[in-house]
């Protein structure tokens, strides 16, 4: 019995994925995943940007995911135990957020949108932190991801290293970034200028780590660019076929070669004959008119649909979001797809955008409040975590069935399965701000003598 048991571990391995043979002959040899990502990320990013700028499905995919992940913006809700301090922090941040973009093109929430779009297309977003020269408020400037010097890779004397422009200390923590002063494509960007080192505290680098030790991001379009190129060619072929089928009406067999009796345009030995709708003509003796029978599209439309489904799966959105085609969806399938998509979006919101982008900006804002005296230095040093504690509220999801969702929320609230704060947060609002608005409405109605409307039960 012991020999049989040992034979299970010492016998021939049968793990097919690790095997060989002819079935694996044309499969690319495995490489280290980190070197694969770092080695091809720049090429993939350039191709992805071209695809998004030139293909309607690529454009729609970015717009759909940006709308779901960012929407109108992920807003902060301070968590300090003092309501007075929470209110003041929220008010001050709204003022700072309005002018946070260093280029003056948008606000803090627009920068979130920029960052996610770069994250999706280029695989990473890059921002430089600074302060306003007049007020000292934090400023964020969007950089092109390729300004991060990919050619800068070396070991450092203290045991640290620089990997594609990202400098790490001996413990693997990021401590600096090597950045070109100009973006690719700028008029001055063609000048031979060396990259400059910036401390990690002044740079925000947003990317989705796929493998351990990954330093740079990979475009979300990496799994689909090759099939997307094939689908583009298929679509072009289908359009050309349709054009040929529409233009080529038929052919006339002219035995004597005179073309007598036909009206058209003579070009050399060819006569282009016009055919009008509803026309019936009697052919002359020796002449025969044959109508063309262009080939059908066959399974090409179905193949195109399945290809688009594959693209949607690889990018991370639904087929309907990618194409705008909701003809094959019903209530149940739409709800199931939305629930699954929401889990993916919430993961990106909290694990990537909030942690890598929003969190360091909030910390810079709190530092600004301390420096300008809005937060006492002694109070901050005594309990800094109370001031830095913040809850980020993503935009609310549109309801598929508002009545049923409202009834479910009311039932859960009545049975103590949730809280009113949680329900309000799911709708993308701050409960304290909402309660103040409700109280203000009631006070105004009472002051003006407006009677509240009765609701039927």
Residues 176 and 246 in one domain: no
Each of the 457 residues of the chain gets a pLDDT tens digit; together they read: 556 555 544 555 557 777 777 777 777 766 677 888 888 899 999 999 999 999 999 999 999 999 999 999 999 999 999 999 999 999 999 999 999 999 999 999 999 999 999 999 999 999 999 999 889 999 999 999 999 999 999 999 999 999 999 999 999 999 999 999 988 877 665 556 889 999 999 999 999 999 888 999 999 999 999 988 888 888 888 787 777 666 656 665 656 555 555 556 666 666 566 656 555 555 556 666 666 666 665 677 788 888 889 999 999 998 888 888 888 888 777 778 888 899 999 999 999 999 999 999 999 999 999 999 999 999 999 999 999 999 999 988 877 677 877 888 888 888 888 888 888 877 777 787 788 888 888 888 888 888 877 655 4
In a domain, 247, yes or no: yes
Residues 73 and 156 in one domain: yes
Domain that residue 151 falls in: 35-220+331-395
In a domain, 420, yes or no: no
- From 395, 418, 449, the end of a domain falls on 395
CA distance 85 to 380: 12
* Cβ-based neighbour number of residue 216 at 10 Å: 23
CA distance 248 to 251: 9
Residues 232 and 200 in one domain: no
pLDDT, residue 287, reads 63
Q: Under DSSP, is residue 39 helix (H, G, I), strand (E, B) or coil?
A: helix
**Residue pair 219/128 in contact by the 8 Å Cβ criterion:** no
Phi, psi of 13 (to 5 degrees): -70, 145
pLDDT, residue 21, reads 76
**Residue pair 128/228 in contact by the 8 Å Cβ criterion:** no
Q: Closest Cα partner for 395 from 363, 366, 427? A: 427
Say what the pTM is.
Answer: 0.80
In a domain, 310, yes or no: yes
Residues 81 and 172 in one domain: yes
pLDDT, residue 230, reads 86
Residues 211 and 353 in one domain: yes
Residues 202 and 230 in one domain: no
**Which CA distances in Å does 244 have to 249, 288, 294, 313?**
9, 22, 8, 33
pLDDT, residue 426, reads 75
- From 395, 412, 433, the end of a domain falls on 395
Domain count, the chain: 2
Listed in sequence order, the residues at least 6 apart from 211 whose beta carbon sits closer than 8 Å to its beta carbon are 33, 34, 37
pLDDT, residue 457, reads 42
- From 366, 395, 424, the end of a domain falls on 395
Q: Which residue has the tokens 């109070």?
A: 379
Residues 156 and 304 in one domain: no
CA distance 318 to 123: 20
Residues 232 and 378 in one domain: no
Phi, psi of 76 (to 5 degrees): -90, 145
Residue 357 is given by DSSP the state I
Residues 50 and 170 in one domain: yes
In a domain, 419, yes or no: no
In a domain, 102, yes or no: yes
In a domain, 435, yes or no: no
In a domain, 280, yes or no: no
Residues 240 and 366 in one domain: no
Residues 204 and 66 in one domain: yes
**3-state SS, one letter per residue, for 153-194:** CEECCCCCEEECCEEECCCCCEEEEEECCCCCCCCHHHCCCC
**Residue pair 317/310 in contact by the 8 Å Cβ criterion:** no
Interior angle at CA 442, CA 436 and CA 447, nearest 5: 125
In a domain, 15, yes or no: no
Residue 81 is given by DSSP the state S
Residues 121 and 199 in one domain: yes
pLDDT, residue 268, reads 66
């Amino acid at each position: 019995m012991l020999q049989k048991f040992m034979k299970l571990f010492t016998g021939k391995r049968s793990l097919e994925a690790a095997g060989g043979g002819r079935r694996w002959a044309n499969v690319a040899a495995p490489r280290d995943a980190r070197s694969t990502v770092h080695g091809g990320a720049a090429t993939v990013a350039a191709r992805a940007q071209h695809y998004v700028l030139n293909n309607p499905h690529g454009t729609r995919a970015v717009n759909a995911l940006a709308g779901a992940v960012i929407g109108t913006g992920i807003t902060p809700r301070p968590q300090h135990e003092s309501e007075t301090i929470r209110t003041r922090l929220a008010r001050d941040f709204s003022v700072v957020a309005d002018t946070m973009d260093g280029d003056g093109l948008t606000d803090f929430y627009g920068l979130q949108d920029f960052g996610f779009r770069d994250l999706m297309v280029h695989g990473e977003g890059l921002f430089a932190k600074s302060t306003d020269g007049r007020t000292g408020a934090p400023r964020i400037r969007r950089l092109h991801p390729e300004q991060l010097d990919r050619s800068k890779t070396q070991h450092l004397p203290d045991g640290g290293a620089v990997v594609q422009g990202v400098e790490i200390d001996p413990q693997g923590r990021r401590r600096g970034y090597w950045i070109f002063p100009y973006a690719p494509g700028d008029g001055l960007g063609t000048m031979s200028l060396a990259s400059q080192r910036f401390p990690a505290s002044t740079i925000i680098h947003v990317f989705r780590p796929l493998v351990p030790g990954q330093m740079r991001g990979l475009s979300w379009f990496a799994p689909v660019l090759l099939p997307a190129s094939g689908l583009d060619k298929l679509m072009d072929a289908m359009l050309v076929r349709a054009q040929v089928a529409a233009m080529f009406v038929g052919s006339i067999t002219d035995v004597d070669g005179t073309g007598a009796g036909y009206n058209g345009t003579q070009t050399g030995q060819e006569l282009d004959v016009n055919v009008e709708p509803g026309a019936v003509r009697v052919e002359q003796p020796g002449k025969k008119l044959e109508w063309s029978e262009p080939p059908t599209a066959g399974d090409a439309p179905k193949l195109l649909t399945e290809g688009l489904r594959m693209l949607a799966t690889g990018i991370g959105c639904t087929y309907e979001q990618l194409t705008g085609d909701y003809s094959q969806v019903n209530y149940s399938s739409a709800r199931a797809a939305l629930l699954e998509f929401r889990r993916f979006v919430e993961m990106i919101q909290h694990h990537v955008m909030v942690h890598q982008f929003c969190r360091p900006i909030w910390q810079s804002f709190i530092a600004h409040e301390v420096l300008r005296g809005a937060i006492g230095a002694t109070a901050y040093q005594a309990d800094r975590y109370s001031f830095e504690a913040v809850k980020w509220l993503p935009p609310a999801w549109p309801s598929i069935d508002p009545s049923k969702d409202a009834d479910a929320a009311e039932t859960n609230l009545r049975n103590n399965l949730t809280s009113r704060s949680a329900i309000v947060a799911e709708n993308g609002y701050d409960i304290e701000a909402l309660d103040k608005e409700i109280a203000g409405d009631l006070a105004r109605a009472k002051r003006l003598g407006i009677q509240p409307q009765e609701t039927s039960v």
